[in-house]
Structure 1
Amino acid sequence: MLVTALVLAAAPGAAADSAPADPGLPSSPVTVTADSLPTVQIDGVVWQQAVIGDTVYAVGKFSAARPAGAPAGTQTTPRKNILAFSLSTGKLITTFTASLNAQGLAVAASPDRKRLYVGGDFTQVNGHAVRKVVALDAATGAVIPGWAPPMSGSVRAIVATPDTVYLGGAFTTVGSASRSRLAAVRASDGALLAWQPAAHGGRVNALVLAPDRSKIVVGGAFTTLNGSSDPGFGLGAVDAVSGRNLATPANKLVRNAGTYAAVTSLSSDGTSWYGTAFLLVSGGGTGNLEGSFAANWQDLAITWIDDCRGDSHSIFASSTAVYKAGHSHDCGKIDGFPESDPRSWHRALAYSKAAAGTLTRPSSRLPSFLGQPMPTLLVWFPDLDTGTATGQNQGPWTVAGNDQYVVMGGEFLNVNLRGQQGLARFAVSSLAPNREGPRSSAASTQPVLASPSTGTISINWQANWDRDSSRLTYKLYRDGKIISTRTVSSRFWYRPSMQFLDSVAAGTTHDYKLVANDAFGNAMTSPTVSLKAK
């Protein structure tokens, strides 16, 4: 007889991972695996990425690239603040040779995928004088001549249509024309257009364009947008032609702005749009969210809130799941991992695209989102550590991808406890090695035996856990033969205890071992233990 008892935390919601039992359920979609694939490395920080076909463009602050597996300072290729690599192989694309003389902060593709728009702090690209923004040939990295908007400050956000390139950042003028952190230029020649919504009180961090190109959602640290703080307190939508404010119900819920709070990123999958937020409570930040959110394009209203604690930096949605880069340390509000002591951070997370429940737990530190819909926290827990490039004790800053791959960029030094600096790739199970298996040591999950009565041996053990599998199968062996098989759901913070009561002949001695394996055959085998029955 097998008995399962719950320990450590309440049972999580739906089991969703790289091989869910029912991938058709909105609450349990398929994710990429947690296997870290070989990927080119950098020696600094990646701030943003863009994907065009099989090419990933990464911009940031770095000076050299090196192959996967190469220690820092070895086998380097000069790459100044921008590079391109293959999404499918992870290898540096040597024919793309653009070079920025200062950090790149934003990168976006033109709709025809032939151009790459790059923004940042730079004043030279490939030796050509520019002013914080440039258009490049997507194949070679060559500067597109005659396209040179003269921005007065850094460009941190870019979205493009065939005719117009929209820019956001910290600038206040374009040439001699006043533009308060938002501007639009002509795609053909970079000439300034009349569009001029004004963001005041802080910079613009992010822009996302509606699928019909009629409106743009703006995110950042600004406290007003066109003079309004609702919408406009860190978040608001504007008309893509006139620049006037549009009703943005999402800003009634998500309100992060000022010196120590902001909306940090925005993205869209064509159906919904998504955002992430930052809040420094100890600094007196004026905000209410450290996690992420999803909203619809129809009326710009929230569809779910991820109320995890710990700042969030970037968000990407594939056709099945939503991926986030940040440093969450408490996802208890959404039935995820609780705060630990000492604190631990989980810098790469995944969520369901659909709402799967309601927030019911109040917060002691921040305003609560009680009654709002929440997503499912999926079982995808690759381990990305912190780096030193920025001095901010962060790991990943950006996430992007497509329906087969997810790419993380930042300043991390290791992925899954192995050297992999600044860039990381993950793939769906059909393209991945699927080698991430049960994580807890064999010794820590070995069976504990007792003989409570004549002819009975009780075998007790605690569930294991896996970075990308929510369900593990446990095979219990007695004297080399399987006597019990059971599949149980677990997480790193939720590991049920199990017991099997074995009937044997009185006074006989028996050997027991336990094998835990995931859906891909990765297994952890316990030591063999023995006991003589009463």
Structure 2
Amino acid sequence: MRRSRGLTAALVLSLAGAGTGIGLVLMPQASAITAPVAFTADSLPTWQPDGIVFAMAQANGTVFAGGTFSAVRPPDGAAGTEREAVNFVALDAATGNPTSCKLAFTVSDGTATVRALEVSKDQKTLYAGGYFGAVNGTPVSSLAAIDIATCTPKAAFHPGVPATVRALAVTDDTLYVGGDFNAVDGQTRERFAAVDAATGALKPFVANADEPGRAIEVSNDGKNVLLGGDFFSVNNSTTHALAVVNATTGAVTKTYSNIPSNSVVKDISADATGYYTGNEGSGGGVFDGRIGLNTDFSEKWRDRCLGATQYVLPYDGVLYSSSHAHDCSTELEFPDGKRHFLLAQPTDHTGAAPAPVGGFVRGPGKLGWHPTANDGLGEGIGPRVMAIAEKSDVKYMWVGGEFTLINGKPQQALTRFGSTGDVGAPTTPVASADSVKPGEAQVRWRTSYDADDSKLTYRIYRNGSATPAATVNADSLEWQRRQASWTDTTVKAGQSYSYRVTATDAAGNTSALSASVSVTVPTAVQSYPNQVRADGAGLYWRFDDTVSPYVADSSAGGNTGGVQLNAPALRQTPGAVTGASTAMGFNGTSQKVYSDHRQTVGSAFTIETWFKTGTSRGGKLVGFGSNTDRSSGSYDKHLYMTNTGRLVFGVSNGSAQTVSTGLFDTYNDNKWHHVVATQGPGGITLYVDGQNKGSLNRTSTQTYAGYWHVGGDNLTGWPSRPTSNHFNGQLDETAIYPTALTEAQVKNHFTLAKAPTDSVSKVNATEDTYVNQGAPGTAYGTSTSLAVRGTSAYETYLRFNVPAAPAGQVLKSAALQFKTNTQTGAGTADTVSVVPVTGTWTGAGTTFTSKPALGATPLGTIAGVPDGSAVHSVPLDTAAVSAVLGSSYSLGLTSTGTDPLWIWSSEATAADGIPQLVLTFGAK
């Protein structure tokens, strides 16, 4: 019998404050995890058997593990030598090391195994069931009682069970037994029986089942017993896999008929609020998940994740489970794909439960506890059994099974996790930045993953500052890492800004800084992207990303990022719209992008994208589907191209409903085209290059939870299906709206895509140096730092190859960008002036005694630079810089005070360290 123990861990965390170093957070302890999860995901060193663990129990800080194995060995890399352990081992809960208790479970014919362990309520007796004939040589028959204090079998306890025992539950005076047997002590007891807990004498309890018993749990009031297994009847009453019987007589008190015939109950557990089952099956229509029952044994929820649940363990309001769950689509969680072996979820819904779907109330959503395992040995099940033990005020979650890896490292059959000591930092955020109008820059990042913290704190650092510009909290799970974002409204037009982001968990573990991302704020509104945002796009992928696998959402708050699959080609030029935008290239066989979280789509929506291709194999441009990296089982709301280059837009309301371009209206001509598809009260409509290509009065569509796809997904069964499901070509500026755009809006977007827009050139210094009055004959052309001071004098010189203005454009703004270095006091309290260099100089030959002449009129000034390594920008006189476009031009940095400024030179390797001119060009 397993119950949720009242070992409430006071996992209270408090933020002491932020340190001065980037990303440093000082915490009073390093053991906090996101409530209500009670255990870290960091596995602790544990001795490991050479086989499979099928059963566990615990008493007084000792964990007992049984199964099919012959020895235990130290954790990989730890000292110690292998020890004999014949199907049983006792281990210290706090150290993971074997204790002095040694028991050998053997059999004269066949392979002995221990399949069930249970500890008496007084913690003095360990009951073991399985298939064995002796314990340390003492004859038994698949069921034994062990005196825990002396670690010896109780010879007087020897009920005769002629077949495998698979389940045990104990009260003060009764041991309930389930398994494969048909008799006990020569009397008929089919698959379930009860014996005296002290003597082993058979009791009158009769609950005969037609197939093996696998699970037993005594009700909270002791009046009933819950039975689980493969059976279809108990005491001739029809009930499959689960039944409730009288604890004294075995008479059936409740039957169940809604567990599929190809599923069985592998485990039953209880807490004060109800009961929980773990279920396994095979074949179509299988039920592989968990059921939550009320105290009256009625069903309160059913988690229909697929993946052979082996064990359920409630603890402090959380149901921990072991399985190899691979598809939680019915729970609106991860789709069919990779296996998740250890999960946690609340034992009940918070607030009102969701409405039933398909006759069942969905299970409570999964929590942020996600240690990893593998299929391992034997049946390839992975984890099979769990137990919670306490020692020295620390709680330990023990897990046993068939696995050979835990968290990616070798560890066989046994592992454990503590309630303290969270040391794993979140993954490093992947960031990007964008700006489409003056005064505003959007910083976006793919949320990080932390195996035991679903609520993370993100700090955004601007221009290399050690002080965060903003702090944002966001949730994430292993299978759902939705974009988070922050808008910087203090930026100035024409200037460049860089950003880095860190993630910190509840224990204060902090990720590395993200790679630096930069953005130049335009001097005028960028018409096309600004209108897409203004018209309400909830997903806007501009495909200007520089790294895999993240695709940023540029919408105004939709935060629906994308995940690249199989590395589509980045930064393809020219993009579809004027300006610096780039496109993404797809190979037509395996590459695509899917959205980063599951959602549903209403009866009104718009799909918009630009494409360019010469393919003759067609493919899906944009669509909605039920899976992510695998082919979707449900799929519609899509735009696809036929082999001949025609475009088709389709939705499904039980059958495919489509509109398409004309027979000779084809678009595989290697030119950029704009396509928009809408559904709303007026039906479905397809637009290409601003023109209405057809409508159909279909206002309904199937509703399911899924993901947006760009570049490919299933097209099976759709009209004029192309050769390829995947698109071979370039895509750009993909947007999804929760409304149907009007024809006027569509035409406006097409027109705005060709509207003039600002372009930005960032020009690195080609040569730089400084001079030092204190060392008048020394040249500093190879120095990684540059200095500026009035007395005694330092002067810095920078040379740039300034580009000419693009055709039809003029310089609209100019700025000099530099970064202070990391030495103490690198900033200055003095005003620094940027002036033209009128004399000649070289990096290698210029010294204080041969320094060049400087112009008298400053091009720009900065009134003081704070200490700390950070990027700074000095606006320059636009007219003066315009006069030198298309030439080599030198700038000098000077000041009149005594406080030096130290900055990185072009020889430095610091991120954003090279001095730059930032030039913004726009229409005349």
- Identify the TM-score tier after normalising by the shorter chain: 0.7 to 0.9
Structure-1 separation of matches of 2:456 and 2:60: 35
Contact 1:318 1:402 in 2 (8 A): no
Structure-2 separation of matches of 1:522 and 1:107: 38
Secondary structure of the structure 1 residue equivalent to 2:433: strand
Contact 1:165 1:184 in 2 (8 A): yes
How do residues 376-395 of structure 1 correspond to structure 2 at under 5 angstroms? 376-388=365-377, 390=378, 392-395=379-382
Give the match for residue 11 of structure 1: none
One-letter code aligned to 1:465? Y
- The CA deviation string for residues 471-518 of structure 1, in whole angstroms up to 9 with x for no partner, is 222211112232221111222232232253454344444332111211
Matched, 1:462 2:446: yes
Give the superposition deviation at 1:448. Answer: 2.2
One-letter code aligned to 1:264? K
Give the superposition deviation at 1:271. Answer: 4.1
Secondary structure of the structure 2 residue equivalent to 1:449: strand
Q: Greater Rg, structure 1 or structure 2?
A: 2
Give the match for residue 346 of structure 2: 352
- The CA deviation string for residues 142-181 of structure 1, in whole angstroms up to 9 with x for no partner, is 1101211111111111112232222110011223222111
Structure-1 separation of matches of 2:60 and 2:292: 25
Secondary structure of the structure 1 residue equivalent to 2:293: strand
Contact 1:334 1:359 in 2 (8 A): no
One-letter code aligned to 1:222? F
Contact 2:37 2:367 in 1 (8 A): no
Structure-1 separation of matches of 2:217 and 2:434: 61
How do residues 168-247 of structure 1 correspond to structure 2 at under 5 angstroms? 168-200=178-210, 202-229=211-238, 232-247=239-254
Contact 1:310 1:329 in 2 (8 A): yes
Secondary structure of the structure 2 residue equivalent to 1:333: helix
Structure-2 separation of matches of 1:92 and 1:61: 17
Matched, 1:424 2:415: yes
One-letter code aligned to 1:80? V
Matched, 1:409 2:415: no
Structure-2 separation of matches of 1:405 and 1:279: 30
Structure-2 separation of matches of 1:506 and 1:278: 61
Give the superposition deviation at 1:374. Answer: 2.7
Contact 2:131 2:163 in 1 (8 A): yes
Give the superposition deviation at 1:399. Answer: 1.5
2:91 is matched with which residue: 77, 85, 94? 85
- The CA deviation string for residues 278-307 of structure 1, in whole angstroms up to 9 with x for no partner, is 11025xxxx75211112133x211222222
One-letter code aligned to 2:383? P
- The CA deviation string for residues 454-479 of structure 1, in whole angstroms up to 9 with x for no partner, is 56544332222221112222211112
Structure-1 separation of matches of 2:342 and 2:286: 21
One-letter code aligned to 2:266? T
Secondary structure of the structure 1 residue equivalent to 2:310: strand
Give the match for residue 265 of structure 1: 267
How do residues 92-171 of structure 1 correspond to structure 2 at under 5 angstroms? 92-93=98-99, 95-101=100-106, 102-171=112-181
Give the match for residue 516 of structure 1: 503
Give the superposition deviation at 1:35. Answer: 1.6
1:290 is matched with which residue: 285, 288, 291? 288
One-letter code aligned to 2:88? I
- The CA deviation string for residues 410-457 of structure 1, in whole angstroms up to 9 with x for no partner, is 0111211122211121222xxx22122323xx4xx4332344345654
Structure-1 separation of matches of 2:117 and 2:505: 39
Structure-2 separation of matches of 1:198 and 1:256: 21
Give the superposition deviation at 1:47. Answer: 0.7
* Unmatched 5+ stretches in structure 2: 1-10, 15-33, 107-111, 522-919
Matched, 1:529 2:517: yes
Give the match for residue 318 of structure 1: 315
Give the match for residue 493 of structure 1: 479
- The CA deviation string for residues 63-109 of structure 1, in whole angstroms up to 9 with x for no partner, is 111222348x972111111111122222211x211111211001111
Runs of 4+ in 1 over 6 A off after TM superposition: 18-21
How many residues end up aligned between the 2 structures?
Answer: 479
Secondary structure of the structure 1 residue equivalent to 2:373: coil
Structure-2 separation of matches of 1:228 and 1:184: 19
Give the match for residue 755 of structure 2: none
- The CA deviation string for residues 299-330 of structure 1, in whole angstroms up to 9 with x for no partner, is 21122222212210001111231100111112
CA, structure 1 residues 436+256, in 2 after alignment: closer, same or farther (shift >3 Å)? Answer: farther
2:423 is matched with which residue: 435, 450, 453? 435
Structure-1 separation of matches of 2:129 and 2:116: 5
CA, structure 1 residues 479+244, in 2 after alignment: closer, same or farther (shift >3 Å)? Answer: same
- The CA deviation string for residues 334-379 of structure 1, in whole angstroms up to 9 with x for no partner, is 333233xxx20111011112224645685xxxxx444x25323211
Secondary structure of the structure 2 residue equivalent to 1:375: coil
Structure-2 separation of matches of 1:383 and 1:225: 38
Secondary structure of the structure 1 residue equivalent to 2:279: strand
Give the match for residue 491 of structure 2: 504
1:76 is matched with which residue: 70, 78, 82? 82
How do residues 445-460 of structure 1 correspond to structure 2 at under 5 angstroms? 445-453=429-437, 457-460=441-444
Secondary structure of the structure 1 residue equivalent to 2:330: helix
Structure-2 separation of matches of 1:348 and 1:20: 25
Secondary structure of the structure 2 residue equivalent to 1:75: coil
Contact 2:46 2:75 in 1 (8 A): yes
1:334 is matched with which residue: 327, 331, 334? 331
Give the match for residue 836 of structure 2: none
Q: Considering only aligned residues, what root-mean-square deviation do their CA atoms show, in Å?
A: 2.5
Contact 1:471 1:490 in 2 (8 A): yes
Structure-1 separation of matches of 2:444 and 2:200: 69
CA, structure 1 residues 192+470, in 2 after alignment: closer, same or farther (shift >3 Å)? Answer: same
Q: Which structure is higher in RCO with an 8 Å CA cutoff and minimum separation 6?
A: 1
* Unmatched 5+ stretches in structure 1: 1-17, 22-26, 363-367
In terms of mean alpha carbon deviation, does 151-160 or 399-408 score higher? 399-408
Contact 1:238 1:246 in 2 (8 A): yes
In terms of mean alpha carbon deviation, does 211-220 or 523-532 score higher? 523-532
Structure-1 separation of matches of 2:115 and 2:431: 52
In terms of mean alpha carbon deviation, does 522-531 or 118-127 score higher? 522-531
One-letter code aligned to 1:516? A
Structure-2 separation of matches of 1:178 and 1:246: 21
Structure-1 separation of matches of 2:150 and 2:322: 29
One-letter code aligned to 2:289? G
Structure-2 separation of matches of 1:217 and 1:66: 37
One-letter code aligned to 2:250? G
One-letter code aligned to 2:267? S
CA, structure 1 residues 185+457, in 2 after alignment: closer, same or farther (shift >3 Å)? Answer: closer
- Of all paired residues, the percent bearing the same amino acid is 31
One-letter code aligned to 1:203? P
One-letter code aligned to 1:236? A
One-letter code aligned to 1:527? A
Structure-2 separation of matches of 1:386 and 1:502: 50
Give the match for residue 44 of structure 1: 51
Structure-1 separation of matches of 2:481 and 2:173: 55
